[in-house]
Structure 1
Amino acid sequence: MSCPFSAPQALPRDGTPLHPSPTFAAWRAAGPATDLLYQDGHVGLVVTGYDAARALLSDPRFSQRPHRLPAAQDLPHDETVGAATPGEKGADHDTDDASSIEQTLDAEARASIDAANLLALDGEQHRRMRRGITSRFSVKQVRRRREWLRGAVADILNTMTAGQERAGRAELFSQYAQPIAAAAHCEVIGVPEQLVPRFQELFTTAASLQERFDFIREVIARRAGRPGPDVITDLLESDFTRGEAEGLVFQLMSAGHDSVAYLITTATLGVLRHPEQARRLREDPAAVAPAVEEFLRTGAMFLTLFPRTATEEVDIDGVLVAAGRTVSVSPVGANRDPARWERAEEFDLSRDAFGHLGFGHGPHGCIGQQLARAEIAEGVGQLLTRLETLRVLDAEQERPLPFAHPIATYEAGALHVAWGPEP
């Protein structure tokens, strides 16, 4: 199948999380894959059809290397959109590439990141690294932390509304979503409670890689003397080397929490823009958990996941991919494929949206997806229940924003809300 467009395409920048660019629908209507221009001049493919996307993400004939960044509209094809550090926005859902590690990072840290860079690994190497960190993110483990999570979210909500329970204003992303994501992330990884604010400062702002890695070493050293039911303890008691353990903790601390904060923010905006569905969730709080799947389907963060490159000639849903050709999967496109979902463009919390690609799919699917589901459900649920008059004052993400990462991902933006009597 050949591309119906006259020239390789670039990623559209005119969409928003809840209302993606119509370009994705046009590409999907033309076929399951479209020629895509990458920043190094390579012409690969972007997959927007649901069936082709799932097939590709689970196909072992595609490698994580090389990492190529897709070109975006209105930018030269060799210009990077934003400067992400290795490990940031890692929800492909392992982690980001370590190819641009700052020269100031010490040699041992650099070697640790290389050894455990999940998005640079394939096959058994990749499986071994994932096995070392997945158990604490299982459904069973997440259930054991539900009471803790419920209390943590309640405390964060209390802090946000302190002194203004009856009427007030807040910026939801920074005051609510980010603290929830950071707290839960640290709890499972094994960061002591008193170091959570420092984690949030280092991993949600522009800190250097060396500062982040030094923090990881400090946390691991503390945990070595105080084992607990967390990932760091598991790694220290395993056959991983200290360097591998440090590299894996770096990957986990750098990835996932930003996606959860984005999704809590975007889901809340989606619900508040549909008052009848907000009313339904308030009347039936148990409906929030299954609604998370629709949040993830319609508010996917990744316009494209980290790319895969064919190691041999592969046929994906009628698209012949030559060896060496790079392919990017678009969850934004695949999640709205009308061949998979009726009324695919509609935000419908009564829909069974299971099977979406909001967490990716296959061997590189999101490690922390069960924890993320619980965080989103608890965060949105408590917000709607406690603040019945919650309303949007301004949502930055309703206007096209620069991509949050070169891969590319949507930005949550500031979400200003109010509650109480309207003026």
Structure 2
Amino acid sequence: MTETAPEPVALPTARTCPFAPPEELAALRTRTPVRRLTYPDGTLGWLVTGHAEARSVLGNPLFSSRSELQRLPVPYPWVAEPAAPGRFISMDPPDHTRLRKPLAGLFTVRRMNRLLPRVEEITRERLDAMEAHGRPVDLLKHFALPIPSLVICELLGVPYDERQVFQDNASVLMSTDSSIDQVVAAAAGIDEVMLRTVRRKRAEPADDILGGLVADGDLTDEEIAGIGGLLLVAGHETTANMLTLGTFTLLSHPDQLTALRTDPGLMDGAVEELLRHGSILQFGPTRAALADVEVAGRLIRAGEVVTVSLPAANRDPRRFERPEELDITRSAAGHLGFGHGLHQCLGQQLARIELRVGFTALLDRFPGLRLAVPVDDVPLRSEMIVYGVHELPVTW
């Protein structure tokens, strides 16, 4: 039997601590893990803050990812129309399956582990560049952003010289302050470069992901370009911000940093805990109900939009003991940092390798690494869909 839903709320977005989601999310989750949400256009939908409830929504095929059915819970120039070719993250089966399936075998644990030596090499090069630059240095610009950018460019077969185009346009797409004209232009800028790259590979075959998709012959140039743009933006935007936010978090929790330095064997668990604790996708994901579905006693009607708060779900005390604390010795298994279900992050194994290598090498090279500015002076990406910091000045 369904219960009467409480009064709707707007999504809380104001943070009082750079390492924690808005405090109101915890209060909402305590009262009810599924409640009415008012979207910026006045439409009523639902907010999910509980871990089990989040898994229930994300794992249920009756909740659609189709972009034309979605709304964002924060002001953003959202265009409610079908996804562009190749953008499988905003599609349902069978379109999602057709586009993602050719990639599944390319991102296995075994294949990603084969990239380990190259990731280590790139990381050493960035550490050398940091040291050559001298103190202080912006960790995001000189370390965290170049590593995943170069790795994903090489993996896809996109010229690294084009990285600034992608990074600038990705920032526009991720910002809630962007106008509709800016969003459209940014998407077009990425598509243009990717389509040009795909057509070059059709003329000059290459042994990389885009080259392989071209050789398969099952997808159009526009679909391959869309896939490439999606992977490129996701491949550098999320990992770069997790590397930076994770370092910021460790430097601001000296007991945890000391424990990690004392026992490097804790690194794998530390990466998972930082992913849980940080939860950088701060405004979603969203889904739309394709039929009436009951979740935690709430009847969600067909057509209603549901926003899943990953930061809230990853701090659900019903799933994680002392969830507000950073504890690198805990088992954070089951966190939703990479999502869940059909749309769980395709590149999560690559991200884990980059994070593990990046944190390990950074802390080894600079034992005295510390913030170069007070914590309150670090500019936060509060307006961005992917949370993190705009820069992280460090010294040693």
Fold similarity call, TM over 0.5: yes
5 Å-filtered alignment, 1:290-305, equals 290-305=269-284
1:43 aligned partner: 44
Are 1:8 and 2:9 matched, yes or no?
A: yes
Query: 1:309 touches 1:326 (CA, 8 Å); kept in 2?
Result: yes
What displacement does 1:17 show?
4.8
What displacement does 1:120 show?
3.0
Query: 1:16 touches 1:399 (CA, 8 Å); kept in 2?
Result: no
Which amino acid is 1:37 matched to? T
Which amino acid is 1:351 matched to? R
2:372 aligned partner: 393
Any idea what SS the aligned residue of 2:45 has? Answer: strand
What displacement does 1:173 show?
1.3
Query: 2:379 touches 2:389 (CA, 8 Å); kept in 1?
Result: no
Rounded to whole Å, the distance in 1 between the matches of 2:327 and 2:305 is: 34
What displacement does 1:369 show?
0.9
2:70 aligned partner: 67
43 and 99 in structure 1: CA distance in 2 versus 1, 3 angstrom threshold:
closer
1:261 aligned partner: 240
- Which residue, 117, 127, 146 being the options, matches 1:157? 127
State the Cα deviation string for residues 326-377 of structure 1 (Å, max 9, x = none): 1111110000000001111110001110110111111011111111111111
When structure 1 is superposed on structure 2, of 147-156 and 299-308 the one drifting more is 299-308
Structure 1 regions of 5+ residues with no counterpart?
72-79, 84-96, 101-110
- Which residue, 94, 99, 105 being the options, matches 1:124? 94
Rounded to whole Å, the distance in 2 between the matches of 1:183 and 1:246 is: 18
What displacement does 1:160 show?
1.4
Structure 2 regions of 5+ residues with no counterpart?
173-181
When structure 1 is superposed on structure 2, of 182-191 and 343-352 the one drifting more is 182-191
1:231 aligned partner: 209
Any idea what SS the aligned residue of 1:36 has? Answer: strand
Rounded to whole Å, the distance in 2 between the matches of 1:125 and 1:393 is: 48
Query: 1:16 touches 1:410 (CA, 8 Å); kept in 2?
Result: no
- Which residue, 352, 355, 359 being the options, matches 1:380? 359
Any idea what SS the aligned residue of 2:47 has? Answer: strand
When structure 1 is superposed on structure 2, of 7-16 and 380-389 the one drifting more is 7-16
Rounded to whole Å, the distance in 2 between the matches of 1:99 and 1:3 is: 27
Are 1:33 and 2:34 matched, yes or no?
A: yes
State the Cα deviation string for residues 167-194 of structure 1 (Å, max 9, x = none): x211111221111121111122112455
193 and 14 in structure 1: CA distance in 2 versus 1, 3 angstrom threshold:
closer
Any idea what SS the aligned residue of 1:263 has? Answer: helix
Query: 2:165 touches 2:190 (CA, 8 Å); kept in 1?
Result: no
38 and 175 in structure 1: CA distance in 2 versus 1, 3 angstrom threshold:
same
2:313 aligned partner: 334
State the Cα deviation string for residues 299-336 of structure 1 (Å, max 9, x = none): 00122323111111111232221111111111100000
Which amino acid is 2:383 matched to? F
2:193 aligned partner: 215
317 and 247 in structure 1: CA distance in 2 versus 1, 3 angstrom threshold:
same
Which amino acid is 2:73 matched to? P
When structure 1 is superposed on structure 2, of 153-162 and 242-251 the one drifting more is 242-251
Rounded to whole Å, the distance in 1 between the matches of 2:143 and 2:119 is: 14
Are 1:143 and 2:113 matched, yes or no?
A: yes
Query: 2:378 touches 2:392 (CA, 8 Å); kept in 1?
Result: no
What displacement does 1:264 show?
0.3
Which amino acid is 2:103 matched to? I
State the Cα deviation string for residues 69-116 of structure 1 (Å, max 9, x = none): 114xxxxxxxx35x6xxxxxxxxxxxxx7658xxxxxxxxxx9x6222
11 and 397 in structure 1: CA distance in 2 versus 1, 3 angstrom threshold:
farther
1:278 aligned partner: 257
Query: What's the RMSD between the two structures over aligned residues?
Result: 2.4
Query: 1:46 touches 1:330 (CA, 8 Å); kept in 2?
Result: yes
What displacement does 1:228 show?
4.5
Are 1:175 and 2:175 matched, yes or no?
A: no
Rounded to whole Å, the distance in 2 between the matches of 1:274 and 1:187 is: 34
Any idea what SS the aligned residue of 2:372 has? Answer: strand
Are 1:416 and 2:393 matched, yes or no?
A: yes
Rounded to whole Å, the distance in 1 between the matches of 2:219 and 2:79 is: 20
What TM-score, normalized to structure 1? 0.83
Fraction of identical pairs, as percent: 34
Any idea what SS the aligned residue of 1:359 has? Answer: coil
What displacement does 1:296 show?
0.3
Query: 2:170 touches 2:186 (CA, 8 Å); kept in 1?
Result: no
Rounded to whole Å, the distance in 2 between the matches of 1:401 and 1:259 is: 12
When structure 1 is superposed on structure 2, of 9-18 and 235-244 the one drifting more is 9-18
What displacement does 1:34 show?
1.9
